[in-house]
Structure 1
């Protein structure tokens, strides 16, 4: 495997984890959202990753295959005086679980950091290799 392939593999992971962090941020921003005028609430989204071949050397990277909406029902809260309450007095909130999203954010952040560290280590090794020839 070429040292430059490491940059492709880690770069694909960094890009995918950045998209994952964006989705998590969107979920957390809408955690307390209620149904809009159309009756639809925000539904949490989750990233689906896919392995992709990188080059001719058998190495594999990752890319975002799809972003799926959760089918879980929204949280219902009895609040008859709320402007968004339905006929029974319930307000439907988004189905985002903030604790789950925080764990997801920490995991994505760690994966991002690890891949950046892999690229920094590869860069350092390449620079040391170039210095050996001097």
Structure 2
């Protein structure tokens, strides 16, 4: 199969879809981290529930290629953390306060992975741009 100029555009579009998906993932992870220590608004109420980003692959017919997108963001059904803090305004009648089911260490690890994936896609775009520029330089000579 012969390569043509559309391959450069296709490569950049596929990598751009990866950038968008990872940026969306980082937004969800940031929200989880920001709410990790929040409590419910009223005594005994549920706090923030951790969100889990997912990815989906879809066919981009204009590119004739599969691209990635941020899929459904679903709530994490795991149990909330419970701490005995009777003086906390969010405490229930037994003095227990529910905290989000967010583990900051896991979220930060996921954030680093998302950042590396984002950077990998950015490197693909940069390499493709350099290849296009080199091709143009050769054609000008």
TM-score, normalized by length of structure 2? 0.90
- Equivalent position to 1:110, from 83, 92, 116: 116
Task: Tell me the residue number matched to 2:72.
Answer: 66
Q: Number of residue pairs matched? A: 134
How far has the Cα of 1:57 moved from its partner? 6.2
Task: Tell me the residue number matched to 2:130.
Answer: 124
How far has the Cα of 1:115 moved from its partner? 0.3
How far has the Cα of 1:58 moved from its partner? 4.7
Does residue 87 of the first structure (1) align with residue 77 of the second (2)?
no
Question: Do the aligned partners of 2:39 and 2:47 also contact (CA within 8 Å) in 1?
Answer: yes
- Separation of aligned partners in 2, 1:56 and 1:78: 57
Farther off after superposition, 88-97 or 52-61: 52-61
TM-score, normalized by length of structure 1? 0.94
Moved over 6 A (4+): none
- Separation of aligned partners in 1, 2:30 and 2:130: 32
Task: Tell me the residue number matched to 1:28.
Answer: 33
How far has the Cα of 1:82 moved from its partner? 1.2
SS class of match (1:66): coil
- Separation of aligned partners in 2, 1:127 and 1:111: 25
SS class of match (2:39): coil
- Equivalent position to 1:15, from 20, 27, 31: 20
- Separation of aligned partners in 2, 1:127 and 1:4: 13
1:14-50 superposed Cα distances (whole Å, 9 cap, x missing partner)? 0010010011110000001111228121011111100
